[in-house]
Structure 1
């Protein structure tokens, strides 16, 4: 997959852990390969695979004894990783989808199988928990779309 580095960066931002992100991407790509005939007919293949990564992250069953978040090549403002570690998976996913992937609330709701008000509520609660102004979160550089 030509977009593997992009997919891996997305998973790293979601998980905050490069090794876990690699595990999730590997698991998803194995499922993509097994279901290629059906998946290859998808209108937006990349978005479909990213949604699969998101779902795998949200349903990840492993227990982390110690969650250490690593900086993604210095691209995240100081202290943000540590603050993100305190959020639940869905809360972190909403922020990543909103500020990193730059999706609107409707798209996020679709990806999460939720409603727009629920997405807005999760985002608001997450930002309040982080005690961050939206301007700080918006400094997270969005991946350049090709």
Structure 2
């Protein structure tokens, strides 16, 4: 597969992944662009991988986690998301409600990434562990903590539907 074919086939998937982890459409486009630039530089290696999309997805997730460690990135507000206004494609269908997005925005970047990869990208624990460079048991522990935080938020009168 040539790079141009990959971008045509998977570019929007990368933008959607960027949006679900960051909560910001412009940031999602930036993340996808950065991941594609890095993949282009190493395209022979990426193309030779068992799953090129997995390789590029890992680049995107690592870039997002790196960005969240930078002060200027993490100060950007994510709790006031208006998914319907910021996303021109089907990414808004991913969320069941604005309340869920607000609750997800309260999680750490790593917790949010684990939940997004597990429930929105439908990846198994081993694949998520490979993407994040951690053990599957760490994926399960992180997911458990994140879900507990979401349950606690729901019980604390954070109105979440569904």
In the alignment, the residues of structure 1 paired with residue 51 and residue 104 of structure 2 have an alpha-carbon distance, to the nearest angstrom, of: 29
Post-superposition shift, 1:66? Answer: 2.2
Q: Deviations over 1:103-136 (max 9, x none)?
A: 1112211211111221111111101101179xxx
Counterpart position of 2:124: 104
1:35 is aligned, of 28, 34, 42, to 42
Using structure 2 for the length normalisation, give the TM-score: 0.75
Post-superposition shift, 1:69? Answer: 2.6
Using structure 1 for the length normalisation, give the TM-score: 0.82
Larger radius of gyration: 2
Aligned residues: 134
In the alignment, the residues of structure 1 paired with residue 49 and residue 111 of structure 2 have an alpha-carbon distance, to the nearest angstrom, of: 28
Counterpart position of 2:135: 115
Contiguous gaps of at least 5 residues in structure 2:
1-6, 84-90, 155-161
Contact kept in structure 1, 2:114 and 2:142, CA below 8 Å: yes
Contact kept in structure 2, 1:17 and 1:70, CA below 8 Å: no
- RMSD of aligned alpha carbons: 1.9
Contiguous gaps of at least 5 residues in structure 1:
134-138, 140-146
In the alignment, the residues of structure 1 paired with residue 45 and residue 126 of structure 2 have an alpha-carbon distance, to the nearest angstrom, of: 25
Post-superposition shift, 1:100? Answer: 0.9
